[in-house]
Each structure stands twice: as C-alpha cells, then as structure tokens.
Amino acid sequence: MVLGIAFIALLIALPLLAQDGLSQAEIDSATSSYYLSQEGIFDGDLIDWPYRLLQKASIMMFGLSSYAIKLPSIIIGLLLGVLLILLLNRWFKSNVSLLASCLIILSTPFLFLAGSGTPLIMLVFWPTLLLWLGSKIQGEKRPKPLYCFLFAIIMLFSVFTPFMIYFAIFCVLFVFLQPHLRFVVKSLPILPLILVGILVVAGLTVTIIGVIHHPETIMELLFAKDFEISHFFGNISAGFAPVFSWYNSLESVYLSPLISLPIFTLALIGLFSTTKGFFASRNSIATILLVFCLIITGFNPNAVIFCILPFSILVAHGLKYLLEKWYGLFPENPYARIAALVPLTLLFGFMIVPGLLQYIYGYHYNPKVVNQFNYDLNVIRENLTDENLLVYENYDFYKILEDSTDINVISAIENPRVVAVLHRPENMPERYKMTRIITSPMRENSDIIYLYTEVEITEGE
C-alpha cells in the first residue's frame, strides 16, 4: 500500500518533476485529439482514436496546458503499473512480481511514457492488458466467457494503434504454435468463440471502411508516415542507440541509457534462466516479444519503448532465479533468509534511486534531450491574458487557447492595437513599436514573445 501511494503521488507530480515542456509529437497529438470529431471517426479517422478521445476530453475540461495534454498518459500509466503487477503475479510469486514491477514502473522509460502526452504509451498498454486477460483465460480450467469477450473487445480497440495489427497476428500465431494454449482454445465454450469471431469481423469491417475513406490509414497502422524499406536497419540502429549506449550522440526524446545497467544485467540473467523450459508459454513469450520489438523499431525508432514489456518479464525471471539460488543455499536456515534482506534492500536501492535521479535531472539538464521540448505554452499562459497572439507555426494548436482563455490567436497582422508575437517577428508593419521581450530560462534561444504596440506615425517621421 505504501508503494502504491508513493507511485500514484509520483505520477501525479510527474510533469512538475521533469519534462514540463512539450515535444513536437505532443503538440501534434494534442492538435489531432482536439479536432477529432464523431463524424471524423465514422469517416475513417481511426488512428489512436481511443487515446485521442481521452486527450480531447482532458483539454476541453482543463483547457490547453501541459498538464492537460499529459493527463491521459498519467492515467493510463497508473493502469499500466497495476496491470504489470497483476500480469507478473499470474506467472510468478507475489514477492517476485511486486519487486520486479517496482523496478520497471520507477525506471526512466516507464516514467517518460507516463509523462508524455502522446499515444505512444498505448503501444505498451494494449499488449500488457491483452497478456493479462490471456493469462486469466489460460490459467483456468473453465475460463469465464467474460474474459474471452473482454479479450476480443480490447484487441478490437488495440488494432487502431500503429503496429498493433502485428501484435494481433502474433497472438493468433502464438496460440496455434503453443501446444498448451492450443489445447486451452479447444476446450473453450462455443459461445465465447462465436462472440470473438463476430468482433473480429466487425473490427475488420470498420478498418476496411476507414482505409477506403483514408488510404493513408493503412500505411500508418502497418508502418509509419513516410516509411521507406531502405530505412529499416537505420531505424533499428537509431531506436536502440539509447538502450545500449551511455551517451547518445543523436538528438532524441529518450535519455541514455534507456535501460539502466543493473536492470539490464538482471534481465540478461532472466533471459538465460528461461533457456530451461523455453517452450513453456511464460518463458518463451519474453523472447518473442523482444523480436517483435526489434521488428516494429525498424518501422519507427520511437517504438523501441515497447521493450519495457519484455524487459519487465525478464527482470521477474532474473529475480526469481536469484532468490531461488540464494534460498537454495540455506533451505532450512531462517537467519540466512532474514540476512538476505540487507543485500536485497541495497540492490534495489542502487537500481531505483539512480534511475529516478537520471529521469529528473536528465530531462532538466541534458541538452540533447531538453532541446526536444519547448516551453512556449507555459510562457504564454503565465504572461498573456487578453492579448492578440500572432503565431507563425502550429497555428491550429495555439488556436485552442481561445476556448479556455481570453487570448485571441491570429496568423496575420490585421488591425490590433497591441499584438504579442511568438518568437522573432518576420516583417512587422512600421506602425508597431516593440515594447517588451518575454524570455524563458528553459531554452537556448530564450526570446519567446515580442510585445508590440501600435503608435501614430506623423508626417516626416
């Protein structure tokens, strides 16, 4: 309970601890979410629509702010943390699942996902939820039809997230190739199978309609915008660069190393421990998920964040192996078990605390990462009240401010007496005189807003 309360408090305060600015992906996501309409969904605008609906509701409720944009990811991050504990608890003892979950949900990549206002977190959320539901079906002698129905519903929603079509295919193939799972499916009642079949047909129908209206949809669902096959191996190299290097020379929203060395070592121990009994479903699934992560990273380097899921399973395997070996040395000695608490506490302290510090300070001071975020929205909300705001870029995004503030957003100079220009003005009319420059300490180019006032020009001036 103490860990749960601390985790909830940490996620709620997350934007205040680290990247309070917005990346271009977050700006694009908020813009796309806010202008999402019911007609658009039925017309085929289906990419990430479950997340976008949640983000639209957050912005409409709290106005356009960094916190409102990130709030959906914070909520989903809370659910994802709980799901990881539940999933690992299906396959491992409670002590192993709890400790492994703590290592993952307090790691840099998980905190980044939970604090990033983009649908990227759904790439981890959907598979984790599906695996947990699948374990509830597999682990019962007579699976409840409700779990089968929920599994089909979630899979239907998940296919509208890029690359999740591949995961759905992976689930089907894994069921047919894994002997135990194949037996479970054969023993299911006929009603859940019929419901799943109906939902699959419905999902395919909706997807086909969306592709007919928006042909680019299939490209985004299967690959990525502007993807070229020649970039596949380059994307893998760029995606995994923050995972295996201590210093990433490429500009990225990910800190290096993405996976800390202690957790990576623990995952390696877990990987080697699964070689015995590899064909058991829980042993082989982590390795197969790593291969899946490798493939989708070739389509989009940002998809490397999916490695959180297989790494969490491997970390649990590594912890199980270490605890079994330690207790195997002293099977009848209670003092040895108690004494093990000291090195275990130190071990987890050395894993968790540096990861938290890396996340907090890295997103404040690492120039390669900090330059990927801008703080313009925060500066606007703190310094402007009812001015005319002239913007040259991301006009649709800043136009949302009009619905929750008295700021009037314009894209060209008309006849306002006072105008605030976002970033350095291009060609201001001669009748406007600069009166103030508003700066931000969070940027290399700190001049954010230029305030201009119209003055009368007399003859001869």
**Average pLDDT value for residue range 20-28:** 88
pLDDT of residue 26: 92
Residue 172: pLDDT over 70: yes
Residue 41: pLDDT over 80: no
Stretch (H or E) spanning 454: strand 447-454
Confidence of residue 173 (pLDDT cuts 50, 70, 90): confident
**Average pLDDT value for residue range 382-388:** 86
Long-range contacts for 387-395 (Cβ within 8 Å, ≥24 apart)? Answer: 387/418, 387/419, 387/420, 387/451, 388/416, 388/418, 388/419, 388/420, 389/419, 389/420, 389/422, 390/419, 390/420, 390/421, 390/422, 390/425, 391/422, 392/422, 392/423, 392/426, 393/422, 393/423, 394/27, 394/31
Residue 11: pLDDT over 80: no
Percent pLDDT > 90 in the chain is: 11
- Strand pairing partners for 22? 374
Confidence of residue 126 (pLDDT cuts 50, 70, 90): very high
Confidence of residue 137 (pLDDT cuts 50, 70, 90): confident
**Average pLDDT value for residue range 87-98:** 86
Residue 159: pLDDT over 80: yes
Distance CA 399, CA 410 (A): 8
Residue 440: pLDDT over 90: no
**Average pLDDT value for residue range 349-365:** 84
pTM: 0.87
Residue 460: pLDDT over 60: no
**Average pLDDT value for residue range 36-55:** 81
pLDDT of residue 281: 57
pLDDT single digits (tens) 309-331: 999 999 998 888 888 887 777 77
**Average pLDDT value for residue range 253-257:** 84
**Average pLDDT value for residue range 40-49:** 75
pLDDT of residue 452: 87
pLDDT of residue 143: 65
What mean pLDDT value characterizes the chain? Answer: 82
235 versus 189: the higher-pLDDT residue is 235
378 versus 203: the higher-pLDDT residue is 378
Strands 432-439 and 22-23: unpaired
**Average pLDDT value for residue range 159-182:** 79
